[in-house]
Amino acid sequence: MTVRHLLADDDLTAEEQSAVLDLAAALKADRHAEQPLAGPRSVAIIFDKPTLRTQLSFTTGVAELGGYPMVVDGNLAQIGTRESIADVARVVGRQVSAIVWRTHGQDRLQEMADHVDVPVVNALTDDYHPCQLLADLLTIREHKGSTAGRTIAYVGDGANNMAHSYLLACALAGMHVRIGTPASHQPSADVLARAERIAGEQGGSILVTDDPTAAVAGADVVATDTWVSMGMESEKGDRTGQTSPFAPFAVTTQLLDHAAADAIVLHCLPAYRGLEIAADVIDGPQSVVWDEAENRLHAQKALLTFLLRASS
Ligand code: NVA
């Protein structure tokens, strides 16, 4: 039996990503059209880090797919300390139809996937946030009609999970991807190499620049993320203070003026107004962040449906 996981954005081919987005749009139009978990079959949804949108959208989504969402508190399970990841995987994998896990290192997620016969979904690691990107691409499709050939500019922390996922997922979607970030916070060389290869295959391109205006110039989509990701709290002073290296990359109306006049603005949330994004941008007419947050639900239902079908 083949088991399909989504550990990083490029675990899907371009064709598979497109099919998942098509299904997500269909499920948004008819929320109960697919019932792959009817029975009901359970999905374990495990959190080692804080959550709001991910817990809401996966629990609602699994229920709407006919299944039972079993939320596991990582503080109680203590995966990898109370018992090994491999032993947890052997126990959980025999009881549920899929595992959704938000955790720290990518190696932890990989180890889980290596020891189960059911799909494992990355619900955010330090390295990637692929479920968020499926929601973002669905939102871009809705507001721009298509992704291929469009330009997206992500400005802010270029070394974090969202930057990496924008590089990979948007390259798969045939987009021109620009990362505006200080020289001190560059994306991982491995992710960049993978994104450049994919962009070459899909007709897009990759640009990493420390000039925020050059990143945003003429872009169809402008995206940002917190400067202090979960787990980086001890660096908060340096990342948000007067001398923050990210300050020139804040999405203000002045920066947004360099994008296309009809550019849309994305933010995965939670947002910190006055830091990475100005209040008049996130609460302004170009912001589509509430559609983006809702689309987590539809995109993840489509993803689970795809992975369960492809694994059976
Ligand atoms: N980069 C952020 C994304 C939050 C959804 C973090 O990891 O905290």
Residue 57 near ligand 1, beta carbon < 6 Å: no
The minimum-distance atom of ligand 1 relative to the CA of 126 is 7
Residue 223 near ligand 1, beta carbon < 6 Å: no
Residue whose CA is at the smallest distance from ligand 1 atom 2: 229
CA 230 to ligand 1 center in whole angstroms: 6
133-290 falls under which CATH superfamily? Aspartate/ornithine carbamoyltransferase (3.40.50.1370)
Residue-level pLDDT at 57: 98
Mean pLDDT of 97-102: 98
Fold that domain 14-129+293-311 belongs to in CATH: Rossmann fold (3.40.50)
Residue-level pLDDT at 209: 98
Question: Could you read off the pLDDT of 39-52 as tens digits, one per residue?
Answer: 999 999 999 999 99
Question: Could you read off the pLDDT of 128-156 as tens digits, one per residue?
Answer: 999 999 999 999 999 999 999 999 999 99
CB 62 within 8 A of CB 69: yes
CA 200 to ligand 1 center in whole angstroms: 28
Q: Is the pLDDT of residue 84 over 90?
A: yes
pLDDT band at 113 (very low <50, low <70, confident <90, very high): very high
Domain edges within the chain: 14-129+293-311, 133-290
CB 132 within 8 A of CB 225: no
- 32 among the known binding-site residues? no
State both tokens at 32. 């109960």
The minimum-distance atom of ligand 1 relative to the CA of 161 is 1
Q: Is the pLDDT of residue 312 over 90?
A: no
Alpha helices in 3-147 (DSSP H): 14-29, 53-64, 74-77, 85-92, 106-114, 130-144
Mean pLDDT, all residues of the chain: 98
Pocket test for ligand 1, best of 124, 166, 296 (most atoms within 8 A of CB): 124
Residue 70 near ligand 1, beta carbon < 6 Å: no
- 5 among the known binding-site residues? no
Mean pLDDT of 56-82: 97
Q: Is the pLDDT of residue 27 over 90?
A: yes
Residue-level pLDDT at 234: 97
Residue 230 near ligand 1, beta carbon < 6 Å: yes
Q: Is the pLDDT of residue 1 over 80?
A: no
- Reference 123, options 11, 229, 7, 225; nearest CA is 7
- 87 among the known binding-site residues? no
* Strand 264-267, strand 221-224: pairing: parallel
CA 243 to ligand 1 center in whole angstroms: 22
User: Percentage of residues in the chain with pLDDT exceeding 70?
Assistant: 100
Residue-level pLDDT at 29: 98
Question: Could you read off the pLDDT of 260-289 as tens digits, one per residue?
Answer: 999 999 999 999 999 999 999 999 999 999
Q: Is the pLDDT of residue 157 over 80?
A: yes
Mean pLDDT of 213-226: 98
User: What is the complex's ipTM, to 2 decimals?
Assistant: 0.99
Q: Is the pLDDT of residue 290 over 90?
A: yes
State both tokens at 153. 């500019």
**Distance in angstroms (rounded) separating the CA atoms of residues 309 and 287:** 35
- Reference 219, options 166, 251, 185, 263; nearest CA is 263
Mean pLDDT of 93-117: 98
CA 128 to ligand 1 center in whole angstroms: 9
- 205 among the known binding-site residues? no
Residue 48 near ligand 1, beta carbon < 6 Å: no
Residue 162 near ligand 1, beta carbon < 6 Å: yes
Residues identified as active-site: 102, 129, 132, 225, 268, 296
Residue 54 near ligand 1, beta carbon < 6 Å: no
Mean pLDDT of 255-264: 98
Say if 14-129+293-311 and 133-290 have the same CATH topology. Answer: yes
